[in-house]
Amino acid sequence: MSPRVLVLLLGVCMLLQYRVEGPQAKSEKGISGSSDDFYGPKTRNKKITPPTKGTKTPVTGHRVSKGTEASQILNTILNNYDHKLRPGIGEKPTVVTVQFSVNSLGPLSTLDMEYTIDIIFYQTWYDERLRYNGTFETLVLNSKVVSQLWIPDTFFRNSKRTQEHTITMPNQMVRIHRDGKVLYTIRMTIDAGCTLHMHRFPMDSHSCPLSFSSFSYPMNEMIYKWEDFKLEINNDNSWKLFQFEFKGMSNKTETLSTPAGDFMVMTFIFNISRQFGYVTFQNYVPSSVTTMLSWVSFWIKKDSAAARTSLGVTSVLTMTTLGTFSRKNFPPVSYVTALDFYLAICFVFCFCALTEFAVLNFLMYNKMKTQASPNLRHSRFRARAQARARAHARKLRKAPVCTIINMEGNDGAGESSHPGSSQRSKPICCKWLKGCKNYFCVIPNCKGSTWQQGHVCIHIYRLDDYSRYFFPLAFFFFNVFYWLVFLYF
């Protein structure tokens, strides 16, 4: 191919390339004139669509002017503003009005003696440095402006842990009015201490406080006040009080003297009372049933020592376990509560039921040992016992005596042919307090001698019969007395 043909083909190719790229290809290459030297993104032509019929172009001039005016007002009042100094410093104390809105209350931990509360805390004061003139009645600002303004250094005195909510932004708000009134709002969750007096547990009522004051400003510099005390409670939210019931609220104002000065302490109090249905089914019902179960041994034969002993020991151990379990989720207080007193009495009833069989078994063993002795020895012993009984009866005719005599016979029901023959064994006497007119003659037949007439006769081998009535009646009267005292007094 000849050189002329090659030059002609090269010219045709350059002409086609110029037509395809157009005149913009040169400007895109920049000053260097080479496309390889350009690394930035290339601009694209946006298609401008003409407005269709019926649409209106937005007018932004008015909005821009309002935003500009608000920015100018904010810049003007913050230009020479010192947020480190309180309003009216050196002239008068700053008056801060407070108000609460409770989102949720609870749970209340009895073991840790603290409760949780979720609140929105409102504080209002006047700052003359923030006055402005303009068409805006108020300026609502978010948490980013809070650091540029003076804020009261309020802290909660009985709080253990405090959490400020920051999702999705810090839950803080500042509202500045035209006359210099400032409203500061913050949401927080507080774990506050609450001293619980558990003497009447579980029929107890408590007052849980939430106290706050200034940390650094004494009363001559900052004053808190309730303006028509009103605590807003959101009843739509669930209150996690569980075992407790909300009874109302109150407030009080105190002055606390410290080395740093006298501070004003504001306190509002939540009054709650315990609903003891849970404690009833966990403690009162099992302990009462266990106590009544120990009485079953009174209907078991005296010879069945294994059955009666195992039942009594099981009842005592069960009461011990219930007493330990009741203290598991309980604060380590040093005094006795109402529940502890009830469990202790039930433990005593179970222990007495076991002791009753031990006494009965001991007396039966002594009777069998006496019957196994020789007749001669028995007759001498009987004569000496009768002589001693007569002599002792003459001396203690007017003295209160409890006489326990083991008798021979079938089931302790031996009868005597003459008045003086009712005492056949050595009496065991125990003196009572003075002034007691009667004593218990614990023998099968008390209608023998003169000194026994008009006194109570108790058969020692009928202890089971007596216990079947005495234990239930005693436990019934104890319950009546217990619930009347702790519920109504």
Neighbours of 108 (CB within 10 A): 23
pLDDT-wise least confident of 294-308, 349-363, 453-467: 453-467
Last residue of a domain, one of 224, 254, 275: 275
Tell me: do 206 and 122 sit in the same domain: yes
Tell me: do 333 and 314 sit in the same domain: yes
pTM score of the predicted model: 0.68
Look at the alpha carbons of 388, 393, 399, 400 in this order and tell me if their dihedral is positive or negative. Answer: positive
Residues forming beta bridges with residue 226, ordered by sequence position = 98
pLDDT in the model for residue 29: 40
Tell me: do 254 and 394 sit in the same domain: no
**Taking residues 419-431, what's their average pLDDT?**
40
pLDDT digits (tens, 9 = 90+) for 146-197: 989 999 999 999 999 999 999 889 999 999 999 999 999 999 999 999 999 9
Q: Give the C-alpha separation, 397 to 401, whole Å.
A: 9
pLDDT in the model for residue 395: 58
Can you give the residue range of the structural domain that contains 407?
A: 373-415+423-458
Tell me: do 94 and 240 sit in the same domain: yes
pLDDT in the model for residue 6: 65
Tell me: do 235 and 259 sit in the same domain: yes
List the CATH number of the domain containing 282: 1.20.58.390
List the CATH number of the domain containing 202: 2.70.170.10
Burial class (CB in 10 A: 0-12, 13-18, 19+), 54: exposed
The larger pLDDT score, comparing residue 95 to residue 425, is at: 95
Tell me: do 141 and 221 sit in the same domain: yes
pLDDT-wise least confident of 49-58, 112-121, 370-379: 49-58
Neighbours of 188 (CB within 10 A): 17
Indicate whether 303 belongs to any domain.
Answer: yes
Look at the alpha carbons of 357, 358, 362, 368 in this order and tell me if their dihedral is positive or negative. Answer: positive
The count of structural domains within the chain is: 3
The two three-digit tokens of residue 385, written as one number: 């016992």
Indicate whether 354 belongs to any domain.
Answer: yes
Calculate what percentage of the chain has a pLDDT beyond 70. Answer: 67
Tell me: do 84 and 220 sit in the same domain: yes
At residue 346, the 3 state secondary structure works out as helix
Tell me: do 189 and 314 sit in the same domain: no
| 159 CB-near residues (< 8 Å, 6+ apart) | 190, 191, 192, 193
Q: Is pLDDT of 442 > 80?
A: no
Last residue of a domain, one of 216, 248, 275: 275
Tell me: do 109 and 193 sit in the same domain: yes
Indicate whether 478 belongs to any domain.
Answer: no
Indicate whether 108 belongs to any domain.
Answer: yes
Pairing relationship of beta strands 261-274 and 244-258 according to DSSP bridges: antiparallel
Tell me: do 130 and 265 sit in the same domain: yes
Tell me: do 431 and 295 sit in the same domain: no
**Tokens 């774990």 — which residue?**
191
Q: Give the C-alpha separation, 312 to 360, whole Å.
A: 14
Average pLDDT along the chain: 77
How confident is residue 2, by pLDDT bands cut at 50, 70 and 90? low
Indicate whether 255 belongs to any domain.
Answer: yes
Tell me: do 226 and 308 sit in the same domain: no
**DSSP secondary structure of 349-367:** HHHHHHHHHHHHHHHHHHH
pLDDT in the model for residue 34: 41
pLDDT digits (tens, 9 = 90+) for 333-384: 889 999 999 999 999 999 999 999 998 888 777 665 555 555 545 666 666 7
Indicate whether 58 belongs to any domain.
Answer: no
Last residue of a domain, one of 275, 309, 332: 275
Nearest to 103 by CA among 83, 117, 121: 117
Indicate whether 444 belongs to any domain.
Answer: yes
Q: Which amino acid is at 374?
A: P
Neighbours of 361 (CB within 10 A): 14
Q: Are 433 and 400 in contact (CB under 8 A)?
A: yes
pLDDT in the model for residue 233: 67
